[in-house]
Structure 1
Amino acid sequence: MTMTPTRRGAGLVAAGALVAGALGALPMSAAHAAEVTTDYSCDYTGGPHASSLSADVQAPATILTGQPLTLSATGVEYAWGATWSQAGRDYSMKYKGVTATVPVIVNGVALAQPAKLTFDDADLVVPAAGNMTWPAKIAFPAIPTTSGADVSVTFGKVDFDMQVALSLVGGGNIFIPAKVPCAVSGAAPTVASVDVLPPGTLASAAALRAVGKPVVGQRLSAVGGTTTPASAVAYTWLVGGKAAGAGAAYVVKPADLGKAVALSSRATKVGYKTKITTVTVGKVAAGTFVVPGKPKVTGKAKVGKTLTAKPRAVAGTKVTYQWLKNGKAVKGAKAKKLKLKKSFKGKKVSVKVTYTRAGYRTVVVTSAAKKVKK
């Protein structure tokens, strides 16, 4: 039927309502469910019109708590009801850009994200005879299973968005946007029914241990703590019972001196109980460092002259001095320089340099001695 220009606007609005029909069914229970159909009805001028969606939905029969449930479907087909399909043919109705959102209701509560139904534009043509049936695709949101309760999935009201057009006088089409909500006719069928099992147990695959010694300045490495089945393993280093670092390696700090070090692993896998293992590494000992050679003493070893200590440089250390006369400490001679008095005549003078660093053992090095001349 061709519409006149004066009737075109009203006809397009009615066509926009007609285009809705309703969304249908998504089957599913065990691993692979037989085709199931959900019936819907859409109200528009002229009364409600029936439609349905049928599909073969796949899902696991069981799933572990914490694993997201994923549904998929094949053979998805949307059918327009016979109560108005003839009107679609009379008006030469055409559609494009049709999509629909369908609330996914899990155990009576709708998920925040709906399922989405899409059609290929090439398929959206009213047939010359029979019901209008269009193949479709449906995308499901992931369904959480954190509560541990078995999962029962149904669908709610379908909201269609589309572009719809009628044949115009003189030929051609003008597409207009249309939105059509469709309610479930009667009780919504169950499209998925999945048993949620208790979380599994992760078995130890390799023992947790730390490689290296708990000594200031040393690097400790975490190995093991892995599980069967494989899981994501995170390491935490504990010093004095408190978390001090994360990751597979830890460098022992001066502040750790004298404290107990432990290593903890946390193995996680969706659908399994978290496995936490802790092992003792040991009590932190002082670190050691090496002084590359003895300090030197510069200057003439002669009464009235000044000697200067030249210690070897060691990064991060503090040095102190003690001058010696014939191997014995000279009272008050703790500076880098020493002025030789008459009392040093004929004596052997040397300097003792002490290196200190927090968390490390102290190192003392003495220079070679110089005999003082007159």
Structure 2
Amino acid sequence: MIGWQDVYKVIEAMFPLYVALTLGYGSVRWWNIFTPEQCGAINRFVCFFTLPLFTFEFTAHVDPFLWNVRFIAADVISKAIIVAVLAFWAKWSTKGSYGWSITSFSLCTLTNSLVVGVPLMKAMYGPMAVDLVVQSSVIQAIIWLTILLFVLEFRRTGLDVSSAASNINDGNKEEQGNKDLEGNTLVVVGGDDDHKPSFWSLMKVVWLKLAMNPNSYAVYIGIIWALVANRWHLEMPGILEGSILIMSKAGAGTAMFSMGIFMALQEKMIACGPRLTVFGMVLRFIAGPAAMAIGCIAAGLHGDVLRVAIIQSALPQSITSFIFAKEYGLHAEVISTAVIFGTMVSLPALIAYYILLDFLH
């Protein structure tokens, strides 16, 4: 059973995040240190430097040969269910939206496993649970954050191409208008279809952009090193590990600092409003664990492994998901609110899950 000392350890792990958040908020709202342009540059620094190195560092130190295959299968099944539901909603519902499907996927599935999950799971179920949470974090980085990055880049590239085509068409139409005024004639040229890119040409642009984004391959370099190092018992050279650690240690802190800056630039503390805040909390603490419960049943999990799987799926929102949302301009205010309030309410919510699952056992 969780004691007060265990609760304190979780708070001890979470509190520094809010220190960084407050410093970021104050640097803009109270002290006027950064301009809006500089705030954007800080987010890009976090996105392209500290987060990739943070991802590589924790991935490179796992042992993939000891992973629990059933646990990973349950995780994959649960997220596949969510993807299928959201894709169906976006395609067939009159209120469906691919943009909101992407955001809803983040809210349902992407968790802050390392900062909050490790101390909490250790207090609840011991070292076994910590190993499972780390496995979940690595799988999240390898599969789901990579997919998220791809769809965000695909969306932004498509919007950029459409915007460029629209500008070309507007230019053409203005030059017809001028000719019409001069010669009393109207010649139709360059409709929208003339500037629509093919799917493969769009994909080529997306892959080129992803190739220049270290977030898209940092985790794969890390897992390759983990496989090689654990297979042949190698250690990373100290000079290389030190070079990585000096930046990766700043990953979570700079991400929260960037979120504080984002909050300071908004007119309201709850940028997305109370309705979307509640929506985000429902997806985070109810829909995600429900899908994981189905995945656990399908994968045949039982005992403490099943309980850990469900509880870790209700961990607070991933900070990385906010950095991506901010960088790609998709509902960053919703994700930031989910991170902030989700982290605040996660402790009582997770303890409630712990008690409920123990009672059902």
Query: Which has the larger share of strand?
Result: 1
- TM-score with structure 1 setting the length: 0.18
With a CA cutoff of 8 Å and minimum separation of 6, indicate the structure with the bigger relative contact order. Answer: 2
- TM-score with structure 2 setting the length: 0.19
Query: Which has the larger share of helix?
Result: 2
